[in-house]
Chain A
Amino acid sequence: MKVSSAKVSKESKGHGGHHKNSLHSKRWSHHSILPLQLADQLDQWSSVTVDMYNNHHQPQTSHTSTSRSSDYSAGGGDNGEPSGTGNKWASRLLKECARAISDKDSSKIHHLLWMLNELASPYGDCDQKLASYFLQALFCKATESGQRCIKTLISVAEKSHSFESARKLILKFQEVSPWTTFGHVAANGAILEALDGEPKLHIIDISNTLCTQWPTLLEALATRNDDTPHLKLTVVVTANIVSSVMKEISQRMEKFARLMGVPFEFNVISGLNHLGELTKEALGVLEDEAVAVNCIGALRRVAVEKRPALIQMFRSLGPKVVTVVEEEADFSSTRYDFVKCFEDCLRFYTCYFEMLEECFTATSNEKLMLERECSRGIVRVLACDDDQDNEGECERRERGSQWSERLKEAFSPVGFSDDVADDVKALLKRYRSGWALAQPHQNETGLYLTWKEEAVVWVSAWKP
């Protein structure tokens, strides 16, 4: 979806007035007292980014499989095509296969799966990677083995992930791309504005960010001119994060809060089969708390028909603000039309993979891991029956406009203030070009992060 970049509207600034306590103003005041070496480091980091960018725009061998072929002289006229899904061989074969599956043309399916299998590789160029991961999903769809595949993928992921590797991955990603940090900055801004002046804060964090969103917020709370409030942070994790990881995080967060001088309490809720099981009591919401519900990529994990109930449940918590961050794709309204769903899935992940390709170095381990993490989602969406119990997990993304419709049943939108928008823009400036902030059209809410003018991430804030 193409959105126009326009000034953020000033509607509903929350607590009104100039926010001298906003992150934006705080950051400037702190910049002056940064020790010199940190400013240097900031410059260094920027130049590293520039180098990375330049290295990435080497001759167009990125369109051939850089990691697998040698002395191949690029021939033909097909290099340097725009990064749409239309022209590339992988998207053509994949879509053909999806259609064949939908048409139940078994010999064609067989032929295409075989050909994709020959040409795909998770270590090759973008086309090859997409071919590889989508092949897996198509194969599972054709052989009705999606569930089995998910189980395998989960067990492999569990074996190879540790706290350190997961954390390092998230942080590296945040370093090279604003994909996740965009939502953090905007959501934090909205939360701070909504909870301004409250003495007892309770943030319910439903995400898999491993709390990378919160240090900045804690810092902001700590450096407010008025009294530092008490912060209770309740993290709701989905099933595939092991408890030892959260234990590690809890220790670090408590330590950090101590350093910040913020009275802090940390809770973890895990082991839920699905988010619908959450209750006010289980969350430990107390009457005198100012509640913020922060959902990062959380709503899409809820089964489609359970989404309204979840939103109502949030309402019942009486929050001051609900922040929602989701990725722009629609695998939900098309869930009974395999080919259409496939096409949007391919479009979205093509965009994502191409973004990863540009933001990371060619041989980055982190990029590889992020790509691998997509495989579960792709298989789930394309090859698993929603009706079956997918261990409670779902990956049916919806677009911001769709989520808005749902949220409007229980909430009304809150605009992002100019300060927050400025923070976001400043954030985007730190990354390579290609990223932009966009405001949606009329009657739509929230902010969009765009990559090469395509909306990729949506963030919004809501109040009862």
Chain B
Amino acid sequence: MAMAIDEAFEVDFSCYSTSTTTTTTTDDDPGCTWNDWGSPVVDWASLSSERDEFQDLIESMMDDGMGFELARVENETSNSVSVSVSTDTMAVDDETNSGDSKGLRLVHLLMAAAEALTGATKSRELARVILVRLKELVSPNDGTNMERLAAYFTEALQGLLEGSGGGHSKHLITNGTHHHRDKHHQSDMLAAFQLLQDMSPYVKFGHFTANQAILEAVTHDRRIHIVDYDIMEGIQWASLMQALVSRKDGPPTPHLRITAVSRGNNGWRSIGTIQETGRRLVAFAASIGQPFSFHQYKLDSNETFRPSAVKLVRGEALIINCMLHSPHFSHRTPGSVASFLAGAKTLNPRLVTLVEEEVGPIGDGEFMGRFMDSLHHYSAMFDSLEAGFPMQCRARALVERIILGPRIAGSLNQIYRSRNEDESGPWSEFLSTVGFKPVNISFGNHCQAKLLLGLFNDGYRVEELANNRLVLGWNSRRLLSASIWTSPPDSDL
């Protein structure tokens, strides 16, 4: 009997038993007749294909709307933003059908993530999961424009999710690793900035339009004083100086004085410090024989502009220059800009030159609307770069990585932080409110802009949206607005 019992237990191993353990993991026990599987491993290929087919089926049924027995109802509520997206307003790649549908899918996912982050029924968990999914689908380094754009937007949203919208986004997409924004190599930044200027009119459009207006406004002046809100590398002034020294007629080269407004904190990205910019400009001016002096105006930490602290000289033509479009522009807070422009009014400048990003229709100004607008904006920028330089993928990738990616993150940050605040309109409106008067953009200036665009791809266009306002656009998307203003006549010095 004992023998039988032993055997019984040996045989019994494989079954569930209260008395012994199972040893199904060791199939090679020779004593176990119950255990001799020779079991074929489950054919996963056959199983998994059925699963994926099902998901594909859902996808295709949704895309086609065929066989899908639900009636599509027009829904105006903010919950169904996905339904109201119309592809013709999106600058989506017009590649093959699948490219389109992937692009649309990415847009839907981005919107869903943005919605989950900020919508009525917020869910950080859902946003996180959607972003994980997005990251599987896109990479900043390859794929179509839409895919790379989506990668940067995903990263930007990720930053919002993690930072809860506070402060600068610290995460950048740089070949899969994360860098703090300040750690970009200077040489990389220089290269990227140079490339952007070579590949597109974005930088030069603003500078040239402003400079032309300045030149026209100071034809007989002997002293020019420019207060520059955000001088960055100062390249705008190099070309102005060049224009000043090569004036054929009129008085000898006027003296140029530049006061660069600077911030105490070093949170801004630029290639080098403001002192370096000053030194460079001084050296350049000397080399071309331009009388020049450089001053710095340091703002305090809350960036309140005190006009009285600006040193003015009798007889000089005062120009206020406000470039808010620099590609590597660290978004200034609205308060800072407002303080500057309002303060500038009290100085009664001869001219105010303003360049800013043109914002499209944003619905009720809620986050989602502005998010979508931002998507359109940068989509157009990506497209414009590609259209002009389709073969220079690496160059474009560098520009996207160093300049556009961080700019996207900054934009979204700004939009997110101000999402519950009252919507402020474009700065040109602010200038008008503050009391500045428009100055006509000359025919020459307009022509110059067209000539500049002519150096680049056909898709760029310039529109005169107001007497004093030129707008640079790509295809149907307006991107940059340059406007010229002056102090009202009865407040002359």
Contact = CB atoms under 8 A, between A and B. Distances in A.
Partners in one complex: yes
Contact of B39 (A34, A108, A168, A222): A168
A55 to B, nearest CB: 15
A202 interface: no
22 contacts: A27-B18, A33-B2, A48-B25, A69-B135, A78-B125, A106-B70, A106-B71, A107-B80, A108-B75, A111-B79, A117-B58, A119-B130, A142-B69, A156-B50, A165-B40, A168-B24, A212-B16, A215-B12, A215-B17, A216-B15, A216-B19, A259-B8
B161 A42 contact: no
A27 B133 contact: no
B125 A38 contact: no
The range of chain A's interface size is 35 or more
B19 A127 contact: no
A252 interface: yes
B443 interface: no
A256 B34 contact: yes
A386 interface: no
Interface of B: 2, 4-9, 11-12, 14-25, 33-34, 37-44, 46-48, 50-51, 54-55, 58-59, 61-62, 67-75, 79-80, 82-83, 105, 108-109, 112, 123-126, 128-130, 132-133, 135-136, 158, 161-162, 176
A78 to B, nearest CB: 4
A423 interface: yes
Interface of A: 23, 26-27, 30-31, 33-35, 38, 41-42, 44-46, 48, 64-65, 68-69, 71-72, 75-78, 87-89, 92-93, 105-111, 113-115, 117-120, 122-123, 127, 132, 135-136, 139, 142-144, 152, 156, 159-160, 162, 164-165, 167-168, 171-172, 174-175, 180-181, 184-185, 212-213, 215-216, 219, 222-223, 252, 255-256, 259-261, 365, 369, 372, 423, 426-427, 430
A77 B123 CA distance: 11
B39 A75 contact: no
A65 B125 CA distance: 13
B15 A212 contact: yes
Contact of B70 (A64, A72, A110, A215): A110
Contact of B16 (A30, A75, A184): A184
A165 B39 CA distance: 6
B5 A223 contact: yes
Q: Most chain-A Cβ atoms within 10 A of its Cβ — which of B20, B68, B74?
A: B20
Contacts of B123: 89, 92
A142 B68 CA distance: 9
Contacts of B133: 118-119
Contacts of A44: 21
Contacts of A35: 6
B317 to A, nearest CB: 52
Given A78-B125, A117-B55, A184-B16, A72 B62 contact: no
A120 B130 CA distance: 10
Contacts of A168: 24, 37, 39
Given A108-B80, A136-B54, 19 more contacts: A27-B18, A30-B5, A33-B5, A38-B9, A69-B135, A88-B125, A106-B71, A106-B73, A110-B62, A113-B58, A118-B133, A119-B130, A139-B58, A142-B70, A164-B37, A174-B22, A175-B16, A215-B16, A259-B7
